[in-house]
């Protein structure tokens, strides 16, 4: 039921009001008696929110509804009001026909595997503690979640000098206006794109890729803007555009943020598909990477450990553990603006980073689990050291390759990277051959 980013799928097929009701019942029945509930801009979220709140209150829990807000706004609010859990009804960057349910702990971290298993088992067994007529919980509303989040972001910008910047913020028809508002309050000259909330995402597809953000790139290039910020539908992700109109990908931002936070002996949590450029950039300041499975919940788990000062995913999820363990796109936008204000143009910062050849491909299969089992067997026979943290990763002196089953699609993904083109090509060929032999 749970994937790497909570429950997510097609409305009316995978994600239904009945499912939301059961999740609400399970939350209240497993000890989460006060639950923050919010949603993104998708119209289906109204239905799912009502059903989920009904399930919580039916089992004696209280629901605190914060309305349409960013996922990090919802996640942060859980700990701020001493609630037991939070629910963001969102499909994040997925298309409008999808929706989902993501569960949050008071620390700001998404539910870990143990908590998700507890909810799943309660649903499967229908182990719901339905309240008596006089024990039903209540739904209340709260209107200060966004205000609290904005205040925390404002503190991040205090004394940063961002007031001299001109920034384009592409909200993507989602919930991320808070970024524009906070930067504006800090004195930035802000221009927004796709600022109208619309769960159909008419301005552009919700996922902030280089292709999808062509308008933001063009606007930044055509104006005197210093920086472009782009969010997905629930603003847990943030990617960027430099002042030349170039899209800045997640590996580059991960290297910049990590290098900014790390000092000698510090570690940065990154998923196994992260570029070598991040490790090399951290090595320049005496830092190192610690690998996790793909998924922000796994990055958050490692980011909570001593000595880990930052965590991030190339998809655009960024975690500063001293503030919160949830990926916070508006916080990342503020941190990036402060970085540009203090250290110069984003293009120059990116150009200083190493860039290595990388190759990616996907192979369709309806038997991805069986294929991956066989890939592991073959890799164990062929290589001295095999990492199986998430998929199969082989490291060499000059590069690495990763074979990993998609968490949401019937695909096996292949990635290979090296410091030299010829090595990247050879590693990619090795990985493809491994998958072909296993299929």
- The string of pLDDT tens digits covering residues 218-233 is 999 999 999 999 999 9
With b for 16 or more beta-carbon neighbours within 10 A and e for fewer, the 57-94 pattern comes to bbbbbbbbbbebbbbbbbbbbbbbbebbbbbbbbbbbb
- Name the active-site residue from 92, 105, 275, 315: 92
pLDDT over 70 percentage in the chain: 100
Nearest to 167 by CA among 392, 339, 48: 339
Q: Are 201 and 233 in contact (CB under 8 A)?
A: yes
The pLDDT of residue 408 is 66
Q: Are 334 and 320 in contact (CB under 8 A)?
A: no
302-305 long-range contacts (CB < 8 A, ≥24 apart) are 302/269, 303/269, 304/107, 304/109, 305/269
CA distance 318 to 217: 21
The pLDDT of residue 226 is 98
CA distance 204 to 12: 24
Residues in the chain where the model's pLDDT stays below 50: none
Strand partners, 267: 288, 308
**pTM of the predicted model, to two decimals?**
0.94
The answer to whether residue 92 is catalytic is: yes
Domains of the chain: 7-143 (3.40.120.10), 148-351 (3.40.120.10), 358-438 (3.30.310.50)
Q: How many CB atoms within 10 Å of residue 46?
A: 13
């Amino acid at each position: 039921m749970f994937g790497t980013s909570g429950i997510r799928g097609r409305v009316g097929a995978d994600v239904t009001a009945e499912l939301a009701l059961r999740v609400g019942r399970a939350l209240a029945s497993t000890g989460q008696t006060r639950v923050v509930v919010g949603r993104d801009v998708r119209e289906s979220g109204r239905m799912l929110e009502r059903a989920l709140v009904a399930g919580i209150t039916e089992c004696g829990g209280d629901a605190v509804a914060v309305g349409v807000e960013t996922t990090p706004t919802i996640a942060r609010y859980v700990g701020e009001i001493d609630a037991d859990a939070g629910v963001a009804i969102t499909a994040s960057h997925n298309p409008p026909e999808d929706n989902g349910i993501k569960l949050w702990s008071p620390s700001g971290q998404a539910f870990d595997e143990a908590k998700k298993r507890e909810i799943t088992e309660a649903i499967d067994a229908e182990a719901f503690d339905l309240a008596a007529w006089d024990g039903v919980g209540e739904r209340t509303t709260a209107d200060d979640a966004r205000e609290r989040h904005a205040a925390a972001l404002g503190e991040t910008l205090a004394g940063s000098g961002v007031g001299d910047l001109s920034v384009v913020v592409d909200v993507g028809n989602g919930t991320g206006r808070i970024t524009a508002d906070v930067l504006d309050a800090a004195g930035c000259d802000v221009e927004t794109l796709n600022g109208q909330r619309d769960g159909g995402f008419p301005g552009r597809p919700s996922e902030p890729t280089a292709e999808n953000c062509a308008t933001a790139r063009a606007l930044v290039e055509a104006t005197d803007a210093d920086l472009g910020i782009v969010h997905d539908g629930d603003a847990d992700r943030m990617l960027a555009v430099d002042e030349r109109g170039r899209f800045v990908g997640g590996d580059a931002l991960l290297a910049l943020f990590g290098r900014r936070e790390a000092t000698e002996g510090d570690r940065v949590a990154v998923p196994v598909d992260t570029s070598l450029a991040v490790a090399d950039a951290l090595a320049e300041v005496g830092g190192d990477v610690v690998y996790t499975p793909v998924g922000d919940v796994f990055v958050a788990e490692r980011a909570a450990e001593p000595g880990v000062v930052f965590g991030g995913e190339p998809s655009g999820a960024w975690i500063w553990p001293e503030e919160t363990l949830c990926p916070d796109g508006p916080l990342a936008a503020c941190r990036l603006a402060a970085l540009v204000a203090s250290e110069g143009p984003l293009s120059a910062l990116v150009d200083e980073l190493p860039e290595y050849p990388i190759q990616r491909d996907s192979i369709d299969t309806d038997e991805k689990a069986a294929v991956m089992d066989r890939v592991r067997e073959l890799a164990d026979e062929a290589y001295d050291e095999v990492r199986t943290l998430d998929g199969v990763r082989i490291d060499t002196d000059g590069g690495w390759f990763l074979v990993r089953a998609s968490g949401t699609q019937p695909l096996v993904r292949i990635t290979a990277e090296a410091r030299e083109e010829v090595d990247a090509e050879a590693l990619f060929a090795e990985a493809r051959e491994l998958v072909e032999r296993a299929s």
